[in-house]
Amino acid sequence: MTFWEKLEKLDRRIIYAIITLAVVLPFFFRMGLPISVSPEVKAVYDYIDNLSPNDVVFISGDYDPQVDAELTPMFEAIVRHCFEKNVKLVVANVYNPQGVGLVEPRLKKLAQEYKKVYGVDYVFLGWKYGASLLIMKMGQDFKSAWEVDYYNTRLEDLPLTSRIRNYDDIALVVDLTGSGAYISWIYYAYVQYKQKIAAGITAVMAADSYPYLQAGQLIGLLGGLRGAAEYEQLIHHPGLASVGMEAQSWAHVAIILFIIMGNLGYFMTRRKK
Amino acid sequence: MHITTDPWVWVAFFFTLSVYTFLWKDNFLYKIAEHVTVGVGMGFAIALWWQQTVIGQFWIPLKTDFAHNFHLIVPAIMGLMMVTRVIPRFAWMSRYALAFTIGAGAGLGLPRVIQASILQQLSATLLPINFTAHGLGYNLIIFIGVLSGLIYFFFSKEHKGVIGGIANIGIWFLMVGFGATFGYTVMARLSLFIGRVLFILKDVLGMQLS
């Protein structure tokens, strides 16, 4: 049996072990690989960076624990940026009730870190049934759409939400999602109300979202862990996404090598036959 | 390094390892993790839906101010009609509720979908062609890609001659698209694995990583 034939019959578990090593070892032996920033991530950063302190950013954490690793670093980076710029934040989980438990504790923790006051600097709305209907109603009357926040306080009684009438008072909607929820935001908030929308999505969906970016329906895009790492670089606060990117790069190198070896093996054994 | 004493972190650690045992082969631990994930997710969603929607948006408004909220009975009845599907004798009732939902959904959605996914996408394809340092003829590439891709999916004429040639260009564009999607998919799956590794190193073993 030749080397290439042996390679073709390689136990897949050896491949898993090599990938695991490629992911784990960079956490112990860091090489400090650079993270370049793509224009679509920079566009989101620039948009938020140019907002004034009284502007409102609405973040919808439409994701569940399965994609927490990719989207929570994005959430934390954008919240940090808004808090640093004193931009007001309204956070909700329009499409995914499971996002409540992921978003709320992190928002609270970051608010404490930046000494932000609930109701004045930020508000958490949680989840409410309705999804696309809720998005449409927010364009007509924000307060009657949500009525109360996550803690059952009426929105009229909170200084921040009491001044939000509709999308005219929201500078940007950021949808963080592991599903097609960002497309619904385009359908119901952008098409009807011309609301500015940015999307933070899992890498698996990133390729499909570029037509919406190209058409100007999204102002910017954060794709997967890399998008989060790029945003962390822009706010000069490297977090877990930046730490994870080195592991990602080495794992990609390993996979590229496997693909090259697999193809070489295929052609070599076919030539022999 | 400070190993955690939080029992819930250890529960998460157990399920993380249980899921990854599938890489060796399908087994009992993986099955447990799989079923617990589905069960907990569904249970959480149902509890939240019950509390916030049925109690919060129906029962409490009706109880506190019936005169102003009696209209809520209509969607509640339609919701109950949906459930009649489980009783064959009354299953026909669910069709009315479904008809309303589908009709309203299509009516609200269709104009926006056509606007966002067809008309605006179409106008984003027909852009001025420029070869400036910023553009580099991207708009021309987009135009050729869309046109050749559409011709590839045009089956009313045999793919021969000029049509066949353009369809072949369409295949190349599609392959690039599939390649990009596959690359992103690999990146996504690795990101999730990195997330779990970070959880073990940071939350379970208490290592400082940032």
Q: Where are the domains of chain A?
A: 3-29+251-272, 39-238
Q: Min CA distance, A202 vs chain B (Å)?
A: 6
Q: Search chain B and give the residue with CA nearest A209.
A: B181
- Interchain contact, B49 vs A97, CB within 8 Å: yes
Q: Min CA distance, B112 vs chain A (Å)?
A: 5
Instruction: Judge whether B70 lies within some domain.
Output: no
Show the CA angle centred on residue A72, arms to residues B11 and A154, nearest 5°: 100
Tell me the chain B residues in contact with residue A13 when contact means C-beta distances shorter than 8 Å.
Answer: 23-24
Whole-number Å distance between alpha carbons of B172 and B185: 20
Model-level pTM? 0.90
Q: Which helix (H) or strand (E) holds A231?
A: helix A224-234
- Interchain contact, A215 vs B210, CB within 8 Å: no
Q: Does A191 lie at the interface with B, CB-CB under 8 angstroms?
A: yes
Size of chain B, expressed as the number of residues it contains: 210
Instruction: Judge whether B150 lies within some domain.
Output: yes
Cβ(A199)–Cβ(A44) under 8 Å? Answer: no
Tell how strand A197-201 and strand A56-62 pair up: unpaired
Question: What is residue B210's predicted lDDT score, i.e. its pLDDT?
Answer: 61
- Interchain contact, B112 vs A192, CB within 8 Å: yes
Quickly tell me which residue has 């793919």 as its tokens. B159
Whole-number Å distance between alpha carbons of B111 and A191: 10
β-sheet bridge partners, residue A223? A201
Tell me the chain A residues in contact with residue B210 when contact means C-beta distances shorter than 8 Å.
Answer: 238-240, 243
Whole-number Å distance between alpha carbons of A206 and A221: 8
Query: What one-letter code names the amino acid at A29?
Result: F
Interface test with A, best of B57, B176, B194, B204 (most A CBs within 10 A): B194
Rounded to the nearest 10 degrees, how much is the dihedral formed by the CA atoms of A164, A166, A170, A175?
Answer: 120
Tell how strand A88-92 and strand A122-126 pair up: parallel
Domain tally for chain B? Answer: 1
β-sheet bridge partners, residue A148? A154
- Interchain contact, B191 vs A203, CB within 8 Å: yes
pLDDT in tens, A158-211: 999 999 999 999 999 999 999 999 999 999 999 999 999 999 999 999 989 999
Question: How large is the angle between the packed helices B92-113 and A132-140, nearest 10 degrees?
Answer: 60
Whole-number Å distance between alpha carbons of B163 and B155: 10
Terminal Cα-to-Cα distance of chain A (whole angstroms): 13
Instruction: Judge whether B184 lies within some domain.
Output: yes
Cβ(B63)–Cβ(B54) under 8 Å? Answer: no
Q: Search chain B and give the residue with CA nearest A252.
A: B187
Q: Does B57 lie at the interface with A, CB-CB under 8 angstroms?
A: yes
Q: Does A255 lie at the interface with B, CB-CB under 8 angstroms?
A: yes
Using CB atoms within 10 Å of the CB of residue A8, give its burial: 0 to 12 exposed, 13 to 18 middle, 19+ buried: middle
Per-residue model confidence as pLDDT tens for chain B (210 residues): 789 999 999 999 999 999 999 998 899 999 999 999 999 988 988 898 898 889 988 999 999 999 999 999 999 999 999 999 999 999 999 999 999 999 999 999 999 999 999 999 999 888 877 777 666 678 888 889 999 999 999 988 888 899 999 999 999 999 999 999 999 999 999 999 999 999 999 999 998 876
Tell how strand A197-201 and strand A172-177 pair up: parallel
Q: Does A217 lie at the interface with B, CB-CB under 8 angstroms?
A: yes
Whole-number Å distance between alpha carbons of A190 and A167: 10
Q: Which helix (H) or strand (E) holds A80?
A: helix A68-84
Query: What 8-state DSSP symbol labels residue A151?
Result: T
Whole-number Å distance between alpha carbons of A101 and A103: 6
Whole-number Å distance between alpha carbons of A130 and A138: 11
Integer angstrom CA distances of residue A84 from A48, A110, A121, A177:
11, 11, 11, 24
Question: What is residue B21's predicted lDDT score, i.e. its pLDDT?
Answer: 94
Per-residue model confidence as pLDDT tens for chain A (273 residues): 778 878 878 888 899 999 999 999 999 888 888 899 999 999 999 999 999 998 999 999 999 988 999 999 999 999 999 999 999 999 999 999 889 999 999 999 999 999 999 999 999 999 998 889 999 999 999 999 999 999 999 999 999 999 999 999 999 999 999 999 999 999 999 999 999 999 999 999 998 999 999 999 999 999 999 999 999 999 999 988 998 999 999 999 999 999 998 888 888 888 766
Q: Does B60 lie at the interface with A, CB-CB under 8 angstroms?
A: no
Phi, psi torsion values for A257, nearest 5 degrees? -60, -40
Asked casually if ipTM beats, i.e. exceeds, 0.90, the reply is: no
Tell me the chain A residues in contact with residue B195 when contact means C-beta distances shorter than 8 Å.
Answer: 68-70, 225, 244
R_g of chain B computed on alpha carbons? 27
Question: What is residue B133's predicted lDDT score, i.e. its pLDDT?
Answer: 61
Quickly tell me which residue has 């109360």 as its tokens. A148
Q: Min CA distance, A194 vs chain B (Å)?
A: 11
Q: Does B194 lie at the interface with A, CB-CB under 8 angstroms?
A: yes
Tell me the chain B residues in contact with residue A214 when contact means C-beta distances shorter than 8 Å.
Answer: 124, 142
DSSP-based three-state secondary structure for A117: coil
CATH architecture entry for A39-238: 3-Layer(aba) Sandwich (3.40)
Q: Does B192 lie at the interface with A, CB-CB under 8 angstroms?
A: yes
Integer angstrom CA distances of residue A198 from A127, A140, A213, A221:
20, 21, 9, 6
Among candidate residues B79, B82, B59, the one with its CA nearest the CA of residue B69: B59
- Among left, alpha and beta (phi > 0; psi -120 to 50; other), residue A147 is left
Question: What is residue A262's predicted lDDT score, i.e. its pLDDT?
Answer: 87
DSSP-based three-state secondary structure for B178: helix
- Interchain contact, B210 vs A240, CB within 8 Å: yes
Out of B185, B191, B202, closest to residue A248 by CB: B191
Q: Search chain A and give the residue with CA nearest B111.
A: A187
Query: What 8-state DSSP symbol labels residue A171?
Result: S
Q: Min CA distance, A204 vs chain B (Å)?
A: 4
Q: Search chain A and give the residue with CA nearest B146.
A: A211
Instruction: Judge whether B100 lies within some domain.
Output: no
Instruction: Judge whether B145 lies within some domain.
Output: yes
Cβ(B147)–Cβ(B166) under 8 Å? Answer: yes
Out of B48, B112, B196, closest to residue A127 by CB: B48
Query: What one-letter code names the amino acid at A109?
Result: K
- Interchain contact, A207 vs B57, CB within 8 Å: no
Quickly tell me which residue has 């996404």 as its tokens. A241
Instruction: Judge whether B52 lies within some domain.
Output: no
DSSP-based three-state secondary structure for A89: strand
Extended strands (E) in chain A: 56-62, 88-92, 122-126, 172-177, 197-201, 220-223
Q: Search chain A and give the residue with CA nearest B125.
A: A215
Cβ(A207)–Cβ(B188) under 8 Å? Answer: no
